[in-house]
Amino acid sequence: MTAQGTYLVPFLQMHKVVEYDKGFKEIWSYPIKTPWAAIRLHNGNMLIPDEGDRLTREVNPQDETAWEIKLSELPPEARLADSQSCVRLASGNTILCSRGNGGKNPQLVEVTLGKKVVWGLNDWKNLGPATAVWILDDPGIPERPGDLQR
């Protein structure tokens, strides 16, 4: 549920993200190959990871791409195996999450809007796949919809 009281639903097999009002009437739809998640950002845009096309895309309400990162743009040591979910931080950076290809690739990578890698997590000894992550020191209150960009 968004801060506006709407629902964002990624339909993996229907190849789209749909936003519904409180009565479940469709008010917005965006076609994308395999969306794993959809996040309404504070600027009104949607952040959508797409596993099939191996990317994370930010789109505005007019369906224009505002920002996008393809996994192929990451350096080899930080290249994720897939795009499961993501988190936009208060800093503007984005944390990308992955199942990690059975321990062959990192689980998490944080990137700037300029697509520079800030850090990555590749710890298969102590941790498993990271299909989602909660950043505990990111400002916001999870119980207040819209405070966090998740």
Q: Judge whether residue 137 has pLDDT over 90.
A: no
Structural domains of the chain in order of their starting residue, each with its CATH number: 7-121 (2.130.10.10)
| Beta strands 16-20; 55-59: pairing state | unpaired
Q: Residue 149: is its pLDDT beyond 70?
A: no
SS3 73: helix
pLDDT for res 146: 60
User: Is the confidence at residue 141, as pLDDT, over 60?
Assistant: no
Prediction pTM value? 0.89
Residues 3-47: tens digit of each pLDDT:
788 999 999 999 999 999 999 999 999 999 999 999 999 899 999
| Cβ atoms of residues 49 and 35 within 8 Å | yes
The conformation of residue 4, written as its DSSP 8-state character, comes to T
For the record, the structure tokens of 149 come out as 């960009």
Q: Is the pLDDT of residue 60 over 90?
A: yes
- pLDDT mean over 118-144: 78
CA 83 distance to own-chain centroid: 8
Per-residue model confidence as pLDDT tens digits over 72-101 = 999 999 999 998 899 999 889 999 999 888
